[in-house]
A and B are shown apart, each in its own frame.
Chain A
Amino acid sequence: MMGKITGLDRRLPRMLRQTLAGFVVALAVLLAPAAAGAQQPPTTAAQEGFVPVDESKPQEHLPAAPLVMTAYAVAWVAIFGYVWSLWSRLARVEREIAEVSRRVDAGSRR
């Protein structure tokens, strides 16, 4: 009995060494891809899931041309609108001045 135990005791360090070595190899095999991935450059391509362009955020595919056209149209309309408003106000005041001047002249002749 003692002899068997002694034999097992002799074999145990060898088995332990083999088990440990196997564990280390398995760990290395498992961790190798993760370590390699950490060294790769970051990428902008989708990796967690693909999103069709139709479902992406609106601003990402918002066309610029209508915004630019609207901006220039607003500027032109505002400028022309103000010029027209100023011209019509001036014309109205000139008409009123002519009318009142005529009445003042008529009044001074009496």
Chain B
Amino acid sequence: MNRLYQLLLLLAVAMFAYAPFMIVQAPYESTMGLVQKIFYFHFPSWIVMFTAATVCGVGGALYLFTSRPAADRVTVAGAELAVVFGLIGLITGPLWGRKAWGVWWQWDARLTSALVLWLIFVAYLLLRKYGGPGSEKLSAAIALFGMANVPFVYWSVNVWRTVHPKTTVVTTLLPGMREPLWWSVSAFMLLFILLLISRVRLEARRSELEGLFVALED
């Protein structure tokens, strides 16, 4: 397990190291030019954020119905990763929009719902940190609501009028743009899996430490 983890970590590092070379070779988009290349890190970060939110929500649901500590650990790990990758998406998006739309931010359906989704997971982490005993169940319910928001955020560009590109830009990508995007998505997903395993391990070790403290007091 440990050796497999190290091998996968090396693979992830190699994939991230090679990604810029693929992105540089990708053709320029006709209307946006160079700034569109932010897409190759912006889209994968949101895909990982949505995956982390889903993992967090499923973990929260399992914890609500089974009260298994392992489910709670997965929920915490998922929430933290959703915040980290959501932050990358929320910063890279306005940098792209400043050039493409002429503004840093627009309070439209997509951008606002994405911000609200991110804030839900920030709220989850704050509740876990400062909520005190018993906050696990309440935060698990918040995780569930966060996960339920994911499809609305994803489809918002197709339903409401927004400055953000539609979801079809990904499915209709031409060769040359498609390869670097899916390479980056794979690198981000691999990194997410490795970070999730490590973060769950951290929670498991923390509960072991708590058990040791109880044993010491006894």
Contact = CB atoms under 8 A, between A and B. Distances in A.
Interface of A: 57, 59, 62, 64-65, 67-68, 70-72, 74-75, 78-79, 82-83, 86, 89-90, 93-94, 96-97, 100-101, 103-104, 107
Contact of B41 (A72, A90, A96): A72
Interface of B: 16, 20, 33-35, 37-38, 41-42, 45, 84, 87-88, 91-92, 95-96, 98-99, 102, 191, 195, 198-199, 201-202, 205-206, 208-209, 212-213, 215-216
Given A71-B92, A71-B96, A93-B209, 16 more contacts: A59-B98, A59-B102, A62-B98, A64-B99, A65-B34, A71-B38, A71-B91, A72-B20, A78-B84, A78-B88, A86-B198, A93-B202, A93-B205, A100-B212, A100-B213, A100-B216
Q: For chain A, what secondary structure do more than half of its interface residues adopt (helix, strand, loop), or is it mixed?
A: helix
Contacts, number: 81
Q: For chain B, what secondary structure do more than half of its interface residues adopt (helix, strand, loop), or is it mixed?
A: helix
A65 B216 CA distance: 58
Contacts of A75: 41, 45, 88, 92
Nearest to A76: B16
Nearest to A67: B95
Given A64-B99, A93-B206, A97-B212, A79 B34 contact: no
A72 B84 CA distance: 15
A99 to B, nearest CB: 9
